[in-house]
Structure 1
Amino acid sequence: MRVQIFNIMGQLVRTLVNASQSAGRYDVLWDGRDMSNQPVPSGTYLCMLEAGSYRTFIKMTMAK
């Protein structure tokens, strides 16, 4: 399973999960920080969830 956050330009902001997981339900929290542990600015972000051949994107808004 892989969960990644991208900015609206398609640039990778942070990888939250990149590991093999057994089937089941999981909670993943993003603290609003990038790979350098810096807070991201307000704006639109995309969360990509990938599991096997399944991939979906969720549009999110960071408002401060």
Structure 2
Amino acid sequence: MRGFGRIPARYVHGGSDSTDAVRSVETIAAGLKGKRLREPVTVLGAPDANDREACWELGATVAASLMP
């Protein structure tokens, strides 16, 4: 699989703040030389319809990047 071991997309869910979590995942991804496909999806609190749509689009982007 192309990009195995890398983190091409990021989804972070936090109760009230996810700044440190996003920073940590970005640091790990940089160390793995991961290529970011798009900006991370960050959800605070209970996910709503817009959050679910953003996650769906994130998954679709990752899936499309794996196509030969």
TM range (shorter): under 0.3
Q: Write 1 or 2 for the structure with the bigger share of strand.
A: 1
Q: If the length of structure 1 is used for normalisation, what is the TM-score? A: 0.27
Q: Write 1 or 2 for the structure with the bigger share of helix.
A: 2
Higher RCO (Cα < 8 Å, 6 or more apart):
2
